[in-house]
Amino acid sequence: MKISIVIPALNEEKCLPILLESIRKQDFKDYEIIVADANSTDRTAEIARKYGAKVVAGGMPGPGRNKGAAAAKGEFLYFFDSDVRLPKGFLRNTYKEMKENRIDLATCRMMPLPGLLIDRILHSMMNGFLIAMQRINPHAPGFCILVKRDLFNKVNGFDETIRVAEDHNFAKRASKYSPLRVLKSAEIEVSVRRLEKEGRLTLAWKYFWFGMHRLFLGEVRNDVIKYEFAKFEENKVKKKNKR
């Protein structure tokens, strides 16, 4: 098995089929899919099994990824969030680039869905940041982390005591053994639902605060900064009720 795709999920019956369908359409077939389901109350697990995925017990994103990895058999672990979509050739191109260049840890440039101008600008800025920092202070967003399983095991996976930015912490620890690279062969398409939910300026400020906390106070291991896993539809209902 070349690639194990691991997806932590909670009540993702709307987004998950889009990701799984984009995986099904890939021209690279040596992979397995593992969905780490955090006790969803909707059809998430049912949909995952319908697409041939193995469903394991999940939790918050970090623990969910670890539990998915524990069940994986692939040479590489590809961690995705439920609300991304893979362009054609993504699996083939990324696997080839990592093998040919002996890359054990990677992420990809991102493109927003649906792609408003402001969102394209924000994501372009984030891409520039990832590329500029990959050799200095490596960051990798949890919705797209590609890592060799041996390296993942070497650093004991994601730190489950961290509440926020466990993905960047993982990239930092793993890059001590193998440098992080932003791949050139593929981009990943990313939902903007979190931007729409929290507001672009509000979310930008929150991420800035995350960075400052990590820089001066260490990793965020408590709820000093509010983080919500899923709950996007719940937020929409609250907004409608306020009208």
Tens of pLDDT along 150-186? 999 999 999 999 988 999 999 999 999 999 999 999 9
For domain 3-194, which CATH number applies: 3.40.50.2300, 3.40.630.10, 3.90.550.10, 3.40.710.10?
3.90.550.10
CA count, 13 A, side-chain hemisphere, 235: 12
Residue indicated by tokens 């083939």: 92
Residue 52: phi and psi, rounded to 5, are: 85, 15
Query: In the sheet where 84-85 sits, what is the strand order?
Result: 54-57, 31-37, 3-9, 76-80, 144-148, 105-113, 180-191, 84-85
Residue 237 pLDDT exceeds 70:
no
Residue 115 has pLDDT above 80, yes or no: no
Which pLDDT value is given to residue 131?
96
This prediction has a pTM of 0.91
The domain limits of the chain are: 3-194
User: CB under 8 Å to 128, separation ≥6 — which residues?
Assistant: none
* SS3 state at 149: helix
* Among 49, 17, 54, residue whose Cα is nearest residue 36: 54
How far apart CA 55 and CA 5 sit, in angstroms, is 12
If DSSP codes are grouped into helix, strand and coil, which group holds residue 187? strand
- 3-class SS at 3? strand
* pLDDT tens profile 179-225: 999 999 999 999 999 888 878 877 777 777 777 877 777 888 877 66
